[in-house]
Amino acid sequence: MHPKDLSINDFTYELPNEKIALFPAHPRDSSKLLVYNKGNISEDIYRNIAQHLTPGVTLVFNDTKVIKSRILFKKDTGATIEIFCLEPFEKFVDYETLFQQKESSLWKCMIGKAGKWKEKILSKQIFVDKKEVMLQAELIDKQEDSYVVRLSWSPAELTLGEVMNAAGVTPLPPYIKRTAIKDDEETYQTVYSEHDGSVAAPTAGLHFTKEIIDDLHKKNIDTLFTTLHVGAGTFKPVKSQTMEGHVMHAEWMYITIQFLNELLNHIDKKIISVGTTSMRTLESIYWMGNKIINDTITDHDALKVTQWEPYDNQKMNNAGDCIAALILWIKNHHEDHLLIQTEIIIAPEYRFGIVSGLITNFHQPKSTLLLLVSALMGDDWKRMYQYALDHNFRFLSYGDGCLIQL
């Protein structure tokens, strides 16, 4: 069956509200870990995850960093308007350069209580290093599923990164029904986060500590780091009866030649992705390289992996050859990295190019993330999730997780 014909109702389960974690485990590596190994299920805690991995495997992490993308403006009437900055609206070189912008920046946003935004400009006083700053938001355009907002500030010599860090709050997921607190600035961030750009955390990585990573290395388990900036679309519900009617969200990947070379050097080993975002990145790398080999792609935009593209009847080449082809393509364009979006959807009948295992949290019913898990392990996801429900595992972003090895 083509995944377009899948019914989302086949990927659901009963998730009681009390199973949704509102706060993280302390310390973070004390989270429960469900271990699924060739059909066998056991449990432990993340602190001991190295004991459940075979020496020689390689873990790939997403080192994106969550930005304070929710900005609250309080009107004189007392109403609060929330601007949730999703992604830059303008064309940009990379996120590092973007956050060095001064004076103003244009963003694609979601707006809470948009109907109460009557005036042309909203204003907010903030402080950056004890310096008073005036931040303004101007509604530029309304699009089908979002708004375009211009943020501007004075003094203009401050950078966008400085302003957002001072003005914004941690963008907790919509199912964590509480106000973000100071602790979330640390706990809703991986210990290895490096590159600003995400509006949601790569939550599989929240359980890891530097001590765990040291343990992995001692056991001859290598760790690689790449970047996919997680968008709010990761929480986008599937509203259509079949998957054909669902439009997959796009997310930005920042892929360096250095990472691709490291990946190529490890491609003969078992690759386990830490999180669904790492899996989306790795599998997108495969299909981009595969396109280059099959079609001799020359245009940057044509490299982008679209939603249903992996399900086309195309020849699948060796993973190492695909990575090498992508490296050469980037070098031939006189770059040392690739900044590009992916719309890939990984669902049952998907043909994996690189990944053979997954570390991930427990996902929402009727979600594309649950489809991804099913693509990897088949209908046994139902048995795994039932075990988690029956044994007091905590679900979703701040919850516990699982190690899936086939």
- In which order are the strands placed within the sheet that holds 104-112? 70-74, 80-88, 104-112, 147-154, 131-142, 121-128
- 243 has a pLDDT exceeding 80: yes
pLDDT at 12: 97
- Exposure string (b/e) for 25-53, b if CB count within 10 Å is 16 or more? beebbebbbbbbeeeebeeeebbebbeeb
pLDDT at 296: 74
For residues 226-243, give the mean pLDDT: 92
pLDDT at 404: 98
CB atoms within 10 A of CB 344: 25
Long-range own/partner contacts, residues 380-389 (CB < 8 A, 24 or more apart): 380/36, 380/39, 382/13, 383/41, 384/34, 384/36, 384/41, 385/13, 386/13, 387/34, 387/41, 388/34, 388/362, 389/13, 389/14, 389/15, 389/19
> How many angstroms separate the CA atoms of 395 and 393, rounded?
7
Angle ∠(30,31,35) on CA atoms, nearest 5: 115
- 112 has a pLDDT exceeding 90: yes
Position 372, amino acid = L
> How many angstroms separate the CA atoms of 274 and 204, rounded?
6
Q: End-to-end CA distance of the chain: give it in Å, rounded.
A: 22
CATH numeric code, 3-65+186-405: 3.40.1780.10
Give 63-93 pLDDT, tens digit per residue: 999 999 999 999 888 899 999 999 999 888 8
The answer for residues whose C-beta is within 8 angstroms of residue 5's C-beta and 6 or more apart is 242, 243, 244
Give 309-366 pLDDT, tens digit per residue: 999 989 999 999 999 999 999 999 999 999 999 999 999 999 999 999 999 999 999 9
Backbone angles phi, psi at 368, to 5 degrees: -65, -25
Give 7-18 pLDDT, tens digit per residue: 999 999 999 999
- CATH 3.40.1780.10 boundaries in the chain: 3-65+186-405
Give 246-291 pLDDT, tens digit per residue: 999 999 999 999 999 999 999 999 999 999 999 999 999 999 999 9
Using 50, 70 and 90 to split pLDDT, how confident is the model at 306? Answer: very high
| 117 token code pair | 């935004």
pLDDT at 236: 85
